[in-house]
């Protein structure tokens, strides 16, 4: 398959949007930008089209997909009921990086829900994504546009690296603004439950609806209502050692790996001042949570087999990087100290 690419980094091009719409309505897959990461879009009501997503990604069939729509009315069209607190959350945070898990009314394909009676729906906050959704006028199932288990794509080049020849098209809308996925909230209970940490914090949700729970990792294994809970995610091409408690002993870890003849890459964040030697590659993620989140996946992707054999990620202070980034690094890590 030849994967067509359209550039919309400077402005919207309705001719290209309409061409992408034609492919989506024909049951093909088109990757598109959102404010979080790039999504791999297919008609969420078309069973055959949705299954193409799983094939392209190599994704387990019981891992549910998030559906993207353009309006609150379209959210209501896919679910049985919208609780009053979801109405409040949508007023404050949608369009934006938040996904609502609600009881499905059966309009989306069964492959979307991963065998559950719920569906996750969100309204993205990106001009290209919103225009595409409005023009299509169909809900788009759109997980991250990467090979399953690998770092999510935050640019069209990342998508092409993983998906060229596997999908019909890629819309280039420039680098993702946020760089991390949406917060996923189970809204089937009296109190909202955060299933996956993301662009909207628990404190922000609590500030507008009064109460919120956070799902524990142990419980998530048994009730995977959200992507990113049951299977390994965000892993780079080479093993990643995450140093949090042992950050001050980073040189010892480097020395051990060098004695084994390994080529070492360093990923660090915050205001670490030390220089570590000898290593093959060093990347600084940033000094604050926003910078680090935006750069995380692109940095993980930049460590290639052959260039390095092992990555050591040094977190001198969790205060600098935030809970969401820590969550993603822990899921990506081969070992944690």
Q: Which residues does residue 184 pair with via DSSP β-bridges, in sequence order?
A: 99, 196
Predicted pLDDT of residue 164: 98
Predicted pLDDT of residue 220: 46
Which of 111, 38, 91 has the alpha carbon at shortest distance from 68?
38
Q: What is the pLDDT of residues 217-239, one digit of tens each?
A: 544 445 556 665 555 679 999 99
Predicted pLDDT of residue 272: 65
Q: What is the pLDDT of residues 285-313, one digit of tens each?
A: 998 889 999 999 999 999 999 999 999 99
Q: What is the mean pLDDT of the chain?
A: 93
Residue 206 has pLDDT above 60, yes or no: yes
Predicted pLDDT of residue 226: 60
Tell me whether domains 4-222 and 240-336 share a fold: no
Residue 318 has pLDDT above 90, yes or no: no
Tokens of 194: 């955060």
Residue 157 has pLDDT above 90, yes or no: yes
Residue ranges covered by each domain of the chain: 4-222, 240-336
Q: Quick check: 29 and 49 in contact, CB under 8 A?
A: yes
Residues 6+ apart with CB under 8 A from 112: 44, 50, 64, 65, 67, 119, 141
User: What percent of the chain is predicted at pLDDT more than 90?
Assistant: 85
Tokens of 41: 């879009």
Predicted pLDDT of residue 48: 97
Predicted pLDDT of residue 201: 93
Predicted pLDDT of residue 253: 96
326 CB-contact burial (10 Å; exposed 0-12 / middle 13-18 / buried 19+): middle
Backbone dihedral angles phi then psi of residue 170, each to the nearest 5 degrees: -135, 125
Predicted pLDDT of residue 216: 75
**Fold of the 240-336 domain:** Rossmann fold (3.40.50)
Q: What is the pLDDT of residues 12-60, one digit of tens each?
A: 999 999 999 999 999 999 999 999 999 999 999 999 999 999 999 999 9
Which of 41, 34, 112 has the alpha carbon at shortest distance from 79?
112
**Fold of the 4-222 domain:** DHBP synthase (3.90.870)
Q: Distance between CA atoms of 214 and 152, rounded to whole angstroms?
A: 23
Predicted pLDDT of residue 218: 46
Predicted pLDDT of residue 278: 87
Predicted pLDDT of residue 233: 79
């Amino acid at each position: 398959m030849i994967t067509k690419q359209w550039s919309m980094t400077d402005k919207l091009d309705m001719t290209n949007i309409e061409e992408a719409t034609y492919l989506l309505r024909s049951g093909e897959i088109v990757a598109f930008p959102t404010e979080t990461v790039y999504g791999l879009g297919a008609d969420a009501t078309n069973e055959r089209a949705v299954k193409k997503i799983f094939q392209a990604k190599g994704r387990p069939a019981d891992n549910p997909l998030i559906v993207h729509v353009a309006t609150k009315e379209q959210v209501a069209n896919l679910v049985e009921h919208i609780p009053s607190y979801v109405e409040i959350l949508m007023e404050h945070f949608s369009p934006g990086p938040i996904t609502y898990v609600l009881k499905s009314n059966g309009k989306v394909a069964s492959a979307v829900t991963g065998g559950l009676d719920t569906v996750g729906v969100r309204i993205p906050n990106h001009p290209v994504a919103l225009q595409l959704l409005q023009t299509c006028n169909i809900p788009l199932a759109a997980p991250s546009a990467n090979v399953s288990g690998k770092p999510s794509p935050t640019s069209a080049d990342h998508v092409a690296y993983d998906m060229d020849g596997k999908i019909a098209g890629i819309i280039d809308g420039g680098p993702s603004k946020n760089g991390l996925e949406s917060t996923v909230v189970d809204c089937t209970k009296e109190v909202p439950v955060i299933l996956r940490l993301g662009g909207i914090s628990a404190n922000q949700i609590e500030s507008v609806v009064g109460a919120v729970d956070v799902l524990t990792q142990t419980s998530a294994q048994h009730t995977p209502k959200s992507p990113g809970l049951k299977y390994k995610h965000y892993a780079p091409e080479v093993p990643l050692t995450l140093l949090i408690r042992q950050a001050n002993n980073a040189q010892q870890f480097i020395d051990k790996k060098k004695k084994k003849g390994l080529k070492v890459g360093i990923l660090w964040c915050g205001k670490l001042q030390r220089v570590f030697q000898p290593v093959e590659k060093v990347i600084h993620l940033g000094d604050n949570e926003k910078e680090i989140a935006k750069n995380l996946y692109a940095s993980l992707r930049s460590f290639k087999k052959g260039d390095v054999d092992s990555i050591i990620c040094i977190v001198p202070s969790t205060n600098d990087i935030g809970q969401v980034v820590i969550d993603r690094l822990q899921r990506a890590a081969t070992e944690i100290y």
